[in-house]
Amino acid sequence: MKMLRGICLAVTAMVLATTASAEEWKLKLGANYRIFGEAELTGFAFSNPDLFTGNGFVSGNLPGLLAVNVVNQGLQVEAGAVSPDGDFAELHRVDFASGADDHMDASRGFVLAASGMFNEVWDVELSLAVNKLDSGASATATGTTERYDTSNDDSWAAAGGTAAQWIDSTFAGWAGPLAPPVGGYQVDATGAVAYDFEVDVYTFGLGLSRDLQLGECVDVSLSAGPTITLGDFSVSRTESAAFTDVANTPIYSNTLHDDGLEVVLGAYASVSVGLVFDEQLTLEAGARYDYGVSQLQTDLADLDLSGLSGELKLVFSY
């Protein structure tokens, strides 16, 4: 973060030094309010970190028992547990669908620009917009249950109650999955997903601008050009699974993180109306649109930084 800020300050100093060499130049300072696009949430299957291996399952249950460990599509019950009544086992999956989108929150920030004469019509403009994206998203995930016939499985008795007891799919007696029972499964599972997005957004622009005088006190400024956006991001995703029994008994909760720095190429266009106080000072209010040719990509979600900004700037002419 400190290094990135240092880069921004260095580039800003270079911008000012470059434009200061022009015979006529302008410095613009102000604030912006930037609206970002959507976060594309990547689909995934829940993975319970408490399971040794679950092959996509988050948990399982036997009649009268909840939260039984799933191992290789089998069930593990702690030593000393009472042998369950019934001849079936249920295994639970939770999946979050891909392609889900969520609008991200807008952000306040600041803008800095400097322009100098390019020719008799156009000025060249160098700009920097800085915003702090702090947003989140939440969604539900779909739980599915599979029931297996264990009536011919002799592994429970074979354990002898002296060690961890198994209902194991490797035994010939394990059949299934069976058709859903009439009246539904003994218990189902459900899931919830929560995202947190934190991105420091630095958008550098190099464009052409033109000022049009509408009178002694009013002017219009137009500018457009390519951009390079740096996104210093920290993204987290928390997945939580629970049984759908009366108590909504939790199964597990786990949080994943991804941090990094991404570069997004794009373009911008802006228009503003200025109130001219004198030859050296103007107050501008305007709108700017930033377009990114790609999304900011992370391991957990893809973020669209394209969007519209409102700007309020003071313009100093020299």
pLDDT of residue 31: 97
pLDDT of residue 179: 76
pLDDT band at residue 178 using 50, 70 and 90 as cut-offs: confident
Q: Beta strand 218-243 with 25-34: parallel, antiparallel or unpaired?
A: unpaired
pLDDT of residue 237: 94
Check which CATH number belongs to the domain holding 235 and give it: 2.40.160.20
What mean pLDDT is predicted for residues 275-298? Answer: 94
- Whole-angstrom distance, CA of residue 249 vs CA of residue 243: 5
Which segment of 28-37, 98-107, 203-212 scores lowest on mean pLDDT? Answer: 98-107
- Whole-angstrom distance, CA of residue 191 vs CA of residue 240: 6
| Residues sharing a CB contact under 8 Å with residue 3, sequence separation 6 or more, in sequence order | none
Q: Which amino acid is at 8?
A: C
Place of tokens 């920290």: 234
- Whole-angstrom distance, CA of residue 160 vs CA of residue 170: 18
- Which residues partner with 209 through β-bridges? 123, 223
**In the predicted model, is pLDDT for residue 296 greater than 60?**
yes
- Whole-angstrom distance, CA of residue 279 vs CA of residue 113: 18
What mean pLDDT is predicted for residues 171-189? Answer: 71
What mean pLDDT is predicted for residues 250-262? Answer: 94
**In the predicted model, is pLDDT for residue 83 greater than 90?**
no
What mean pLDDT is predicted for residues 179-185? Answer: 79
Structure pTM? 0.80
Place of tokens 């092959």: 55
Nearest residue to 147 via CA among 57, 274, 271: 57
pLDDT of residue 25: 85
The answer to whether 229 and 295 have CB atoms below 8 angstroms apart is no
Which segment of 66-70, 126-130, 133-137 scores lowest on mean pLDDT? Answer: 66-70
- Whole-angstrom distance, CA of residue 26 vs CA of residue 127: 12
What is the count of structural domains for the chain? Answer: 1
- Whole-angstrom distance, CA of residue 150 vs CA of residue 174: 5
**In the predicted model, is pLDDT for residue 166 greater than 70?**
no
Full strand arrangement of the beta sheet holding 301-303: 100-103, 38-41, 301-303, 296-297
What mean pLDDT is predicted for residues 62-81? Answer: 66
| Residues sharing a CB contact under 8 Å with residue 297, sequence separation 6 or more, in sequence order | 262
Domain of 221, in residue numbers = 2-317
**In the predicted model, is pLDDT for residue 132 greater than 60?**
yes
- Whole-angstrom distance, CA of residue 245 vs CA of residue 263: 46
pLDDT band at residue 162 using 50, 70 and 90 as cut-offs: very low
Nearest residue to 83 via CA among 62, 104, 68: 62
pLDDT band at residue 77 using 50, 70 and 90 as cut-offs: low
What mean pLDDT is predicted for residues 45-56? Answer: 73
pLDDT band at residue 171 using 50, 70 and 90 as cut-offs: very low
pLDDT of residue 289: 97
